[in-house]
Amino acid sequence: MKAIIGKKVGMSQVFDENGKVIPVTVIEAGPCAVVQKKTEEKDGYNAVQLGFGDVPERKLTKPELGHLNKAGVGPKKYLREFDLENADELNVGDLVKADTFAEGDFVDVTGTSKGHGYQGVIKRHGAHRLKETHGSGPVGRHPGSMGPSTDPSRVFKGKIGAGHMGVEQVTVQNLRVVRVNAELNMLVVCGAVPGPKGSLVTVKSTVKTHKVKQLGADISRNPQKASGRNPQKASARK
C-alpha cells in the first residue's frame, strides 16, 4: 500500500486529451518525513510513522519534541501511521513525496467533513416535513411523534433526530489520480474529497479491486436478448 499525508487546497477542473472536463480536487501532498519505523520484532507489526506540516517548537509539548528530535526531523504538526508496502526500504528521516503515486492510480482519501453546527432532522437526515394545511401549526419542520406504545415504552437507539451535524471522519473511495507534480507537492484527484479548504487529508491506495474486463463479457447468453441471439452482431455494434 502507498500512502501520504496532505492538505486540501480546493476544487477545480481540468481537460483531458479528448477535451472532456474533469472535476478535480487539488491536494498538497507531502513532503512527509519518516519519524518512526515499527518492526515485527519490537512492536509486533510493520509500519512507518509519517510527519507532515512544519510547526513552531513552542506549539509542541516536550515529549512530542523529543520524539521528533530523536528521529532527526523538524517539528511536525501531524503524525500518522501507515502500513506501507515499501516499509522495509524506508529509513527514519527519509521523505515521502507526491510522486509516490502515479497518474492513473486509484486512491482512498480520508478527511474530516465540514461542520454544520446543531441542525434539525430535515437538514441532518433528510426527513419529510409536515403538511402546511389542516392544522399542522408551527411545527412543520419538527420530527413528529416517535414515542412507542407500552412495549417497549422507550425510543430505540439510533433514531434520527436533531443534533450536531458534520465534523466526522469520512473516506471517499476509488478516486483516480489525474495529475502528479512532485516539484509543487501537488496531487490532483478526480472528484470531491471531504473537508473544507486547508483541512488535513490522508491519501492511500484504494482497497477496491479493479478487474480487467474480458472480451465478450458484456454479451448475454440469454436467448431472449438481442445480444444472446446474435453475439456477433452485438459485439460489432459496440
The pLDDT tens digits of the residues spanning 183-194 come to: 898 999 999 999
pTM: 0.77
Residue 205's CB is within 10 A of a number of other CB atoms, namely 17
Band (9; pLDDT cuts 50, 70, 90)? very high
In a domain, 189, yes or no: no
pLDDT at 228 over 60: no
Name which of 19-23, 69-73, 205-209, 214-218 the model is least confident about.
214-218
The residues that bridge with 200 in the sheet, in sequence order, are 7
Structural domain for 126, as ranges: 116-144+158-165
Q: Characterize 177-201 residue by residue with b for buried, 16 or more Cβ atoms within 10 angstroms of its Cβ, and e for exposed.
A: bbebeeeebbbbbbeebbbeeeebb
Q: Is residue 176 part of a domain?
A: no
**21 within domain boundaries:** no
Distance CA 35, CA 99 (A): 19
Cell of 237: 455494434
Model pLDDT, residue 109: 93
Amino acid at 171: T
**Amino acid 139: pLDDT:** 83
Residues 114-155 pLDDT 10s = 999 999 999 999 988 888 787 777 888 888 788 778 888 888
pLDDT in tens, 92-122: 888 888 888 888 889 999 999 999 999 999 9
Predicted local distance difference test score (pLDDT) of residue 39: 84
pLDDT at 26: 94
Is the pLDDT at 48 greater than 60? The verdict is yes
Residue 37 maps to a domain:
no
Number of structural domains, the chain?
1
- pLDDT value of residue 5: 92
**66 in any annotated domain:** no
**Residue 126 located in a structural domain:** yes
Predicted local confidence at residue 177, as pLDDT: 92
Task: Kindly state whether residue 124 falls inside one of the protein's structural domains.
Answer: yes
Structural domain includes residue 139: yes
Q: Please report which confidence band the pLDDT of residue 18 belongs to, taking 50, 70 and 90 as the band edges.
A: confident
Q: What is the mean pLDDT of the chain?
A: 85
At 150-182, the pLDDT tens digits run: 888 888 888 888 999 999 999 999 999 999 988
